[in-house]
Chain A
Amino acid sequence: MTGLDAGLQDGLPRGQLSEVVGARSSGRTTLLLQILAAATHRGEIAALVDTFDQLDVSSGMSAGIALDRLLWVRGHAISRSQVVGVGSRSRPSNPGPEALVDRLIERALRAFHLVLQSGGFGLAALDLADAPLAALNRLPFMTWLRLQRAVEGSETACVLIVPRPLARSDGGVTLSLDGCTQWAGVPERSRRLTGMDVTARVVSPRRRVDGTVTIHATAQSDVVSAFRRTSHGPAEAGHYGNAIGSAPACGS
């Protein structure tokens, strides 16, 4: 994570909406857990609104999250049986899976809004990574503006985990991830999954920290990462609060 930390320079900005974008196995959950671990390690409290109840608690513990400082708001997992049962001919009045997913997303957004309004959290994350794109497209754009309004001026760094860019605020950053799993062992019987290479593209026009960084997330070998700037000069030390990085923001 060294390279990404250096690339972001001041971490995720507080009081802004940032997003982590990626497909399955792109490293978005790994990055999310690292961000949560950093926030709780600093003594702050963090909140995770888990829309479809997909957090693996032992993964979180391995990432270093102080679990007693994490508020986990669990949505409801959609099982195959639920999807099949809902909208079946025997119960025609029930909403279909589409409406069910919409309702779960809406509920998660309301919970996230409550967390932001309450204040006091160093980090608040909303996990919509496995939400269908069609369902996200149906959300009115005002949804994201409301979230931006709720977090503006606060000391909370707000992160969305989404499958495609949706809602970065002006001062926020977008981390676009691409991952590739790493395997070891030549004979089939000694084959094993050893980790993942994650390429993160940082997009942040206002803060001028755009660039690409590769993270080798393996369990045993050393991390090799480097930040390659693609445009602009060094970021200006502005009024943005820190977020992932730690340091108190200027004026905070």
Chain B
Amino acid sequence: MRLVQLLPVVPEERFEQAIDLEWPIEGLEPLSFVLGRLMEPLAAHLDRRGRGAAVLHVQLHLVTRTVHERTLELPTPIREARALRTLALLDLESHPPDAAIDRVCVAVEPTPSRDLQYSLPTRPRPLPSREQISTLMARLTALMGDGRCGSPAVVNSWEPGAFEMNAFDPGSGTPDKPQRHRGTERNALHRVPVRGSERTKESHEGLCASESPWPVGPTSVSSAAPAVALRRFRHPVPARVRVEQGRPVSVGGTVTQCAGPWRTAGNWWTDETWDRDEWDVTLSDGAAYRVFRDRRTDTWFVEGVVD
């Protein structure tokens, strides 16, 4: 006779809550109370099991017999009812249902909760928690729109002004090693995009980074030269430029100094090609601009202000 060990099978726990409303509700304010009522037992359930919500599903059954469903991937496991409700509401502000609601269902995909070890501080100042950051990002996204908030990043391209937006996640970075580019004089004015292989570690001291306590004396700081910055017009402004002997002499005002041209071209194999001659000019009022002539259309634009 073969003995088989009997093991109890535990059914997979489901973390969801639902409520049927006696009267359909419209608007986010009454929905906020309903969500709060659903999230509290859900958060308590997660807490009992030592789990956190990794993905939040909100299903709104509408009076039109359709289901308005939203799914939020949370940046970190959360089991605070208030934070979950706020995140759901902020998402629904951006994507509201188009009819009244008569049933609300909330479900989460659980994951082991995040364990934090509180130890002696290793940073000069503590960073905000991920819950705080995710709530802030949700609020800012609801206010400014999708893709308008995050961390900027340079891209591997020679295209002037190219960049990309990443999710803001300061905890994943290496704080003491900022990416710093030591370039040539032209590079300092960002004529040439930064290449990854040219990034070097450089101590950043001076005005805003001295480590010595009060008072900050001249001996405690280095004399690193700041790079002159460009204030970029995201949409280059068309300009009326008068050219004499191949050089711009008037760009809305009299040109007192000018340098160029620097020719750049790229992406000729795609529709997003560029081909232009760039100039640095100073006008009679003292302001310095970067202007360029689009060689394909022979039109002039102001790209930004040297500031």
Q: Which of B14-22, B100-108, B182-190 contacts A (4 or more CB under 8 A)?
A: B182-190
Query: B233's contact among A54, A59, A115, by CB below 8 Å, is which?
Result: A54
Least CB distance, B19 to chain A, in whole angstroms = 31
Output the nearest chain B residue to A26 by Cβ-Cβ distance.
B307
Our count of residue pairs bridging A and B at CB distance below 8 angstroms stands at: 326
Shortest beta-carbon distance, B13 to chain A, in Å?
Answer: 34
State whether the Cβ of A155 lies closer than 8 Å to any Cβ in chain B: yes
Check: B48 CB closer than 8 A to any chain A CB. Answer: no
Among A90-98, A133-141, A166-174, A185-193, the one that faces the other chain is A185-193
Complex Cα gap A4–B206 (Å)? 9
The answer to whether B259 touches A183 (Cβ under 8 A) is yes
Q: Does A205 lie at the interface of the complex (its beta carbon under 8 Å from any beta carbon of B)?
A: no
Contacts of A33 in B (CB 8 A): 226-227, 229
Q: Chain B, 115-159, contact with A by CB distance < 8 Å: what is the 0/1 string?
A: 000000001111110001101100110011000111111100000
> Assuming A6-B216, A65-B178, A181-B282, is B227 touching A43 (CB within 8 A)?
no
B197 located at the interface, meaning its Cβ lies under 8 Å from any Cβ of chain A in the complex: no
- Residues of chain A in range 219-252 having any CB-CB distance to chain B below 8 Å: 219-223, 234-235, 237, 242, 244-248, 250
Determine whether the beta carbon of B215 is less than 8 Å from that of A68.
Answer: no
B-side contacts of A74, CB under 8 Å: 144, 148-149
- Kindly report which residue of chain B lies nearest to residue A82, judged by CB atoms: B235
B interface majority secondary structure: loop
What residue in chain A is nearest B217 (Cβ atoms)? A6
Contacts of A29 in B (CB 8 A): 229-231, 305, 307
Q: Mark B216-236, 1 if CB is under 8 A from A, else 0.
A: 111001111111111111110
B143 touches A25 (CB 8 A): no
What is the interface size of chain B, counting residues whose CB is below 8 A from a CB of the partner?
93
Q: Which 3 A-B pairs have the closest CB atoms?
A: A38-B208, A120-B128, A1-B207
Instruction: Give B contacts to A, CB under 8 Å.
Output: 123-128, 132-133, 135-136, 139-140, 143-144, 148-154, 161, 163, 165-166, 168-170, 172-181, 183-190, 193-194, 202, 204, 206-218, 221-235, 237-238, 247, 257-259, 280, 282, 286-288, 304-307
A interface residue numbers (CB < 8 A to B): 1-6, 8-11, 23-35, 37-45, 53-75, 77, 79-81, 107, 110-111, 114-115, 118-122, 129-130, 155, 179-181, 183, 185, 188, 191-196, 215-223, 234-235, 237, 242, 244-248, 250
- Sample (17) of A-B pairs whose CB atoms are under 8 Å apart: A1-B206, A1-B226, A57-B152, A58-B154, A59-B227, A66-B174, A67-B152, A72-B151, A73-B140, A77-B235, A79-B235, A191-B259, A193-B259, A195-B228, A217-B225, A247-B210, A247-B216
